[in-house]
Amino acid sequence: MNMPLPRYINPEVWQAFCEMRKKMGKSRPFTEFAAVLILKKLGELKDNGFDPNACLEQSIERGWAGVFQAPSKAIVAQSLIKNDWLQEQAAYDAQLSEPDQRARSNEARAKAMDVVKQFKPRRVA
Domain boundaries, the chain: 11-62, 73-118
- pLDDT tens string 50-69: 889 999 999 999 999 999 99
| CA-closest candidate to residue 16, choices 60, 64, 70 | 60
Distance CA 86, CA 99 (A): 18
Taking only the tens place, the pLDDT of each residue in 99-123 is: 666 666 677 677 767 766 666 555 5
Comparing 25-39, 49-63, 75-89, 104-118, the range with the smallest average pLDDT is: 75-89
CA distance 28 to 21: 7
Whole-prediction pTM: 0.58
Phi–psi pair at 5, nearest 5 degrees: -105, 145
Residue-level pLDDT at 40: 96
* CA–CA dist 34, 30 (Å, integer): 6
